[in-house]
Amino acid sequence: MLHPVKGRTHEDRLESFYGGQAGDYDSFRERLLHGRDDVLEHLQFSPGMSWVDMGAGTGRNVLQVADRLTDLKQVLLVDLSQSMLNVAGEKLKERRIENASCLHADATMLNLPAESVDIVTFFYSLTMIPNWFAAIELAHRILKPGGTIAVADFYVSRKYPDVGHRRHSSLARLFWTNWFSADGVYLSSDHPAMLKHYFQVGSFSERFGKVPYMPLIRAPYYTFIGRKAEAAS
């Protein structure tokens, strides 16, 4: 409220929001962005693999599992905020993670060869990508057959969700959609459906997580791990 997001382009708006807080970003977000470590724990990192972390921010996700990445061929941290990547780059140097690098790029227009990546992750970044559906389509294109996609993010349910899915009240859907949009985070009820359309489901969960300074309120989030179908023989 005191520092409204400004800018003509999406990149400008990201810098407006993150430029002054990149160095301290993780200290607050650690208590808000739930489910990331659960997903990371279930990812299988094998020698020679490549991993692209979309919307990597300060590199927190890569650093969390750095000891499991030593034999990977490449780890690529992609973000449209240069301020966040500057922090990530410094942390990678400090930890001497030599097979990881940062790339300042739009996750919907990343220029990587088709079927060249083993793992793609989006941790609380899809809700900050206006054309998030294009980012999912790109992830599908660059993943190898049998490759893994993993996501954790905020969301709201559809008004009439599929059987077995959570249904949030009309008030909850309205509140969280508007509350997050003030920070340029745009919740969608269609993320899970889109992910399930493109990828075979390994695991999917819908949960609620604590919000700092709001002890009685829980924000809805989901986690998804999927697999790109193997090529038909």
Could you write out the DSSP letters of every residue in 75-98? EEEEES-HHHHHHHHHHHHHHT-T
What gap in Å lies between CA 109 and CA 141, rounded to an integer? 11
Q: With 90 as the cut, is the pLDDT of residue 202 above it?
A: yes
Residue 56 CB neighbour total at 10 angstroms = 27
- Whole-model pTM: value is 0.89
Q: With 80 as the cut, is the pLDDT of residue 189 above it?
A: yes
What confidence score (pLDDT) does residue 184 get?
A: 86
Query: Which amino acid does the sequence have at 228?
Result: K
What confidence score (pLDDT) does residue 22 get?
A: 45
Residue 80 CB neighbour total at 10 angstroms = 24
CATH topology of domain 10-227: Rossmann fold (3.40.50)
Q: Return the structure tokens found at 84.
A: 């966040």
What confidence score (pLDDT) does residue 116 get?
A: 98
What confidence score (pLDDT) does residue 30 get?
A: 74
Q: Return the structure tokens found at 100.
A: 């990881």
What gap in Å lies between CA 73 and CA 55, rounded to an integer? 20
Greater model confidence, 47 or 214: 47
What confidence score (pLDDT) does residue 26 get?
A: 53
**What distances in angstroms separate CA 174 from CA 145, 159, 200, one per listed residue?**
38, 11, 30
The arithmetic mean of pLDDT across residues 92-115, rounded, is 96
What confidence score (pLDDT) does residue 64 get?
A: 96
Report the alpha-carbon angle 160-161-165, nearest 5. 145
What gap in Å lies between CA 22 and CA 15, rounded to an integer? 9
**What distances in angstroms separate CA 166 from CA 157, 162, 191, 192, 207, one per listed residue?**
7, 8, 14, 12, 9
What does the pLDDT look like over 3-55, one tens digit per residue?
A: 555 556 655 555 655 555 544 545 556 779 999 999 999 999 999 999 999 99
Please give the share of the chain, as a percent, with pLDDT higher than 70.
87
What does the pLDDT look like over 110-159, one tens digit per residue?
A: 999 999 999 999 999 999 999 999 999 999 999 999 999 999 999 999 99
Q: With 80 as the cut, is the pLDDT of residue 233 above it?
A: no
What confidence score (pLDDT) does residue 25 get?
A: 47
Q: Return the structure tokens found at 18.
A: 């993150």
Q: How many helices (H) and strands (E) does the chain have?
A: 8, 7
Average pLDDT, the chain: 90
pLDDT band at 182 (very low <50, low <70, confident <90, very high): confident
What gap in Å lies between CA 10 and CA 21, rounded to an integer? 17
H/E run at residue 63: helix 60-64
